[in-house]
Amino acid sequence: MGATNGPAASASFTHPAGVALDAAGTIYVADTYNNRIRAIDALATLVSSAAGQGWWGSADGSAGMASFYHPEGLAVSATRLIIADRYNNLIRVLHLK
């Protein structure tokens, strides 16, 4: 358990629930209890925080400013990551670069 970013072998998650894969091979994970969306690079070597501040909330905005309250389900399109934000009872959209 934890929220450590970095090399995949030493990264940690707390209750990862949803997973989605984009066209470039990036894997997105709903790290539910950390209230973050995490990204694993296409080579599966590096984990980083893609969105969320690590505490619960419902703020919209850029990936670094957004907050979630137990994100769970994920889906991805060419330009968007769709997030089921469970305890906020919201479907959220994160625009991908």
Q: Which domains does the chain have, with CATH numbers?
A: 6-95 (2.40.10.500)
The total of other beta-carbon atoms located within 10 Å of residue 5's CB is 14
Question: What is the predicted pLDDT for the residue at 97?
Answer: 75
Residue 23 pLDDT level (bands cut at 50, 70, 90): very high
Q: Report pLDDT for 64.
A: 86
Which pLDDT band, with edges at 50, 70 and 90, does 96 fall under?
Answer: confident
pLDDT per position as a tens digit, 28-75 = 999 999 999 999 999 999 999 999 988 999 999 888 899 999 999 999
